[in-house]
Amino acid sequence: MKTIDELLTEGVGGKRVFVRADLNVPLDGTTITDDGRIRAVLPTIARLAEAGARVIVASHLGRPKGAPDPAFSLAPAAARLGELLRADVAFATDTVGDSAEAVVAGLADGQVAVLENLRFNPGETAKDDAERGAFADRLAALADLYVGDGFGAVHRKHASVVDLPARLPHAAGGLIATEVGVLKKLTEDVARPYAVVLGGAKVSDKLGVIDHLLEKADRILIGGGMAFTFLKAQGHEVGSSLLQEDQIPAVQGYLKRAEERGVEFVLPVDFLVAEQFPDLKTKAPAHPETVRADAMPAGKMGLDNGPETCALYASKLADAATVFWNGPMGVFEHPDYAEGTRAVAQALLDSSAFTVVGGGDSAAAVRILGFDENAFGHISTGGGASLEYLEGKTLPGLAALED
């Protein structure tokens, strides 16, 4: 896989360089609530601009349905990128139309432009190869070189991720090179003990990675809504907690395999529970109660790990040499249910392990709860991409950069 370092050595001055970034930031209206993904790609964009390239940045944001939708405009991300670069950043109001052509034509050496949301064009996400290819052809006409640095999208077979690099000389950006290097530390010659913490709402989202990590991890800690399917599989009542009954047989199989392989499976021993989901807009006090995991009352739902579980998980992470964490332990967006997630983050900081926070809600939680991002070994920008890599899948966007 050619890297941006090699590209810069060859020279990019005066060349139009298309950077496929991941600017899929969370928005409250037009206000960015977490700019982590913009900051992650910033070094690649800055290095290209400093070397005299005419940088064309493109990304998706959200899930518009193949047509322009102001709610998913990349204009706020372009503005924030300009603030971080401390330079004017031009913004094209379309992807391959008149505005994009004019904005790119107007770039001078060292200047940066951002195209509007790639998913405003149906060709970006089309299942049909010819439709994706036609869109990629129009994108390729805007540039001379391609740099893939949108790690959060490399598991998608989309035009700008897979088809476009096939049409231009290409290289991997600094972010993708870093992400792949970190993931190799989690899959090849891993420092042990190797502990994995998995949370989030649905166990079905994590089945593939659990299956693969049972062959690699020494200890797997389960939290969040997915924990209740595991507890139900062990015969415990879960009240009105989130439950995927159809996944119980698969979970029982994993528990059996873990026992046979000597992999320690750790489940919550207590929870904070309430009769209803908290109000995340007002953050009104929820007044939860603590119950044992094997004594969940009918009509109550578990919404966070309890204090005994927080202490248990901290102890299970204390001696680890490598930790991968993906998924919050509870409804961390509400202050009454943030402690379980906070305790895991703190345990990672307190350990001497190489710690990887696997993107998505976990990365957001680290920032929302006020932790120093630099204190962790690595915070990924791609939750889904990280999980699929750890499942052993071939990621189309990485494969496209390898030839």
> pLDDT tens, 286-344?
999 999 999 999 999 999 999 999 999 999 999 999 999 999 999 999 999 999 999 99
Is pLDDT above 80 for 238?
A: yes
Question: Does the active-site annotation cover 384?
Answer: yes
Q: Compute the distance between CA of residue 308 and CA of residue 291 in angstroms, rounded to an integer.
A: 10
The C-alpha atoms of residue 107 and residue 116 are separated, in whole angstroms, by: 16
- Nearest CA among 58, 3, 22 for reference residue 381: 22
What the block records as the tokens of 310 is: 């927080």
Instruction: Classify residue 400: in a domain, yes or no.
Output: no
- Closest CA relative to residue 254, chosen from 225, 220, 228, 223: 220
Domain final residue, candidates 177, 208, 228: 177
Which residues make beta-bridge pairs with 221?
Answer: 197, 266
Residues 80 and 223 in one domain: no
Which region, left, alpha or beta, applies to residue 262 given φ > 0 means left and ψ of -120 to 50 means alpha?
Answer: left
For the cut 90, the answer to whether the pLDDT of residue 364 exceeds it is no
Q: Closest Cα to residue 226, out of 202, 210, 246? A: 202
135 with 275, same domain: the answer is no
The reply to whether 192 belongs to the active site is no
Same-domain pairing of 123 and 45: yes
Same domain, 211 and 153: no
d(CA 103, CA 97): 10
Q: Which of 148, 223, 383, 384 is catalytic?
A: 384
How far is Cα 165 from Cα 219, in angstroms, rounded to an integer? Answer: 39
**In the predicted structure, residue 253 carries a pLDDT above the cut 80:** yes
Element (H or E) spanning 339, and its range? helix 339-350
Which CATH number goes with the domain that contains 320? 3.40.50.1260
Please indicate, yes or no, whether residues 201 and 141 belong to a single structural domain of this protein. Answer: no
Strands (E), 95-226: 112-114, 145-148, 170-172, 194-198, 219-222
Instruction: Identify whether 401 is part of a domain.
Output: no
Instruction: Of 337, 336, 315, give the one whose Cα is nearest residue 328.
Output: 337
Catalytic residue among 39, 202, 257, 393: 202
Q: Is 206 annotated as a binding residue?
A: yes
Sheet holding 145-148, edge to edge: 89-91, 112-114, 54-58, 16-20, 145-148, 170-172
Q: Based on the fold, state whether residues 76 and 153 are members of the same structural domain.
A: yes
Residue 16 marked as a ligand binder: no
| Angle between helix 36-50 and helix 75-85 axes, rounded to 10 deg | 60
99 is in an annotated binding site: no
Indicate if the pLDDT at residue 171 is higher than 80.
yes
What are the backbone dihedrals phi and psi of residue 221, each rounded to the nearest 5 degrees, phi first?
A: -105, 130
User: Is residue 9, in this structure, part of any structural domain at all?
Assistant: yes
The answer to whether 378 touches 178, Cβ cutoff 8 Å, is yes
Active-site entry in 360, 382, 383, 397? 360
Domain count, the chain: 2
Tokens of 324: 């991968």
Q: Mean per-residue pLDDT for 256-273?
A: 96
The residue from 15, 16, 37, 232 that is catalytic is 37
360 appears as a binding residue in the annotation: yes
Question: Is the pLDDT reported for residue 200 higher than 80?
Answer: yes
Q: What is the pLDDT of residues 15-38, one digit of tens each?
A: 999 999 999 999 989 999 889 899
Which helix (H) or strand (E) element contains residue 62?
none
- At residue 47, the 3 state secondary structure works out as helix
Q: Which residues contact 338 (CB under 8 A, 6 or more apart)?
A: 304, 330, 331, 332, 365, 369
Q: Is the pLDDT of residue 403 over 80?
A: no
Residue 373 pLDDT exceeds 90: no
224 is known as an active-site residue: no
- Residues spanned by the domain of 97: 4-177
Segment 148-154 mean pLDDT: 96
Is 285 found in the same domain as 198? Answer: yes
Two tokens, residue 13: 């001055």
On whether 216 is known to bind a ligand per the annotation, the reply is no
Q: Is the pLDDT of residue 384 over 90?
A: no
Mean pLDDT of 91-120: 98
Of 124, 147, 177, at which residue does a domain stop? 177
Indicate if 167 and 83 belong to the same structural domain: yes
Mean pLDDT of the chain: 95
Tokens for 36, please give them.
């982590």
Is 289 labelled a binding residue? no
d(Cα 165, Cα 232) in Å, to the nearest integer?
A: 46
398 assigned to some structural domain: no
Q: Is residue 152 part of a domain?
A: yes
Q: Is residue 70 part of a domain?
A: yes
Same domain, 225 and 277: yes
pTM assigned to the model: 0.88
Using the predicted structure, report yes or no on whether residue 189 has a pLDDT greater than 90.
no
Q: Is 208 annotated as a binding residue?
A: no
The answer to whether residue 170 sits within a structural domain is yes
Is there a binding annotation on residue 302? yes
Residues 369 and 248 in one domain: yes
- Confidence class for position 360, pLDDT limits 50, 70, 90: confident
What confidence tier does 62 reach under pLDDT thresholds 50, 70, 90? very high
Spatial distance between the Cα atoms of 1 and 398, rounded to a whole number of angstroms: 9
211: annotated binding-site residue? no
pLDDT at 61: 97
Q: Does 109 show up as a binding residue in the annotation?
A: no
CB 241 within 8 A of CB 224: no
Q: In terms of pLDDT, which residue wins out, 364 or 135?
A: 135
- pLDDT of 361 higher than 90: no
Q: Is 28 helix (H, G, I), strand (E, B) or coil?
A: strand
Are residue 246 and residue 306 in the same domain, yes or no? yes
Domain boundary among the residues 128, 155, 177 is at 177
Residues 163, 200: one domain? no
Q: What pLDDT was estimated at residue 127?
A: 96
Domain membership flag for residue 185: no
Please, what is the end-to-end C-alpha distance for the chain in angstroms?
A: 7
Would you call 157 a catalytic residue per the annotation?
no
> Are the beta carbons of 44 and 31 closer than 8 angstroms?
no
At 399 the pLDDT is 96
For residue 205, the model assigns a pLDDT of 86
Give the E-state strand segments of 154-222 in sequence order: 170-172, 194-198, 219-222
What pLDDT is recorded for position 266? 97
